[in-house]
Amino acid sequence: MANTDPMTQRVELATVMDRLAVDGLITEYAVAVDDGDWEGYRGLFTSDGRADYRSAGGIEGDAGQVAGWLAQTMELFPMRQHLIVNRQLRFGPLDHDIGDTAQVRADYVNPMRFAGHGGGSTAPDFVCGGRYDFALLRTDSGWRLHAVVVNEKWRRAPQNRPEPAAT
């Protein structure tokens, strides 16, 4: 039987709306990285937001520093696609107001294609996977990323293959 208490219904609706907003923010993060929208990437973070890509061979720093590093590094991979799945979401209190923070733990698979060979189907692929830990804060502008930690668990890189002999 559905709860008909108006206050409970408002709280449940607010929770659903927050879940949708947080999910949308995580999707925006993946799209910004895949599309190379580094200004958009920076805009997803709080003013003091940070990201840590060290487990994947990257850097840790504020969102601007990491966006710069990503912009340079992703030139190696003109084709990329983040798949962020198995999202676990928890809301928490900040200053005794329930729902001002959120934690998302999500798995990812990230296939990318190396630059070169015309970017076509002959270019080698690089695939990695692992888990993201996202810390979010509710701001006056909506939900924003406060911290992103990448925990790479595996990767598959192309093996050095001899070039075909000229005929």
**pLDDT of amino acid 43:** 98
Cβ atoms 123, 111 nearer than 8 A: no
Cβ atoms 103, 135 nearer than 8 A: yes
Cβ atoms 126, 77 nearer than 8 A: yes
Task: Give dist(CA 24, CA 44) in Å, integer.
Answer: 11
Nearest alpha-carbon partner for 49 in 35, 29, 24: 29
**pLDDT of amino acid 98:** 56
97-113 per-residue burial string, b: 16 or more CB within 10 A, e: under 16: eeebbbebebbbebbbb
Task: Give dist(CA 95, CA 97) in Å, integer.
Answer: 6
**pLDDT of amino acid 124:** 82
pTM of the full structure = 0.84
Does domain 6-156 fall under CATH 3.30.565.10? My reply is no
What is the chain's pLDDT, residue by residue, as a tens digit (167 residues)? Answer: 566 776 666 667 888 999 999 999 999 999 999 999 999 999 999 999 999 999 999 999 999 999 999 999 999 999 999 999 999 999 987 665 556 899 999 999 999 999 875 555 667 899 999 999 999 999 999 999 999 999 999 999 877 544 444 54
Q: How many C-alpha atoms does 14 have within 13 Å on its Cβ side?
A: 11
